[in-house]
Amino acid sequence: MAASGKTSKSEPNHVIFKKISRDKSVTIYLGKRDYIDHVSQVQPVDGVVLVDPDLVKGKKVS
């Protein structure tokens, strides 16, 4: 049997959601699209924010 590159176990699909600002200075990558706000707490948001270095030049980012 020829190797097809697939394993016998099904690998989970990982989807990354990407949103870019209109001026393309800020990009957000999120692992899921919906987050639920319970009145006493909010689900943790896991993701990455990419900011154009020219936008924050000379400014403090924390």
Q: Which two tokens stand for residue 10?
A: 């099904």
> Per residue in 5-45, pLDDT tens?
555 567 777 889 999 999 999 999 998 888 888 888 878 88
3-state DSSP percent of the chain in helix, strand and coil, to 5? 5, 30, 65
Q: Can you give the pLDDT at residue 18?
A: 95
Structure confidence at residue 62 as a pLDDT band (50, 70, 90): confident
pTM: 0.62
pLDDT at 8: 56
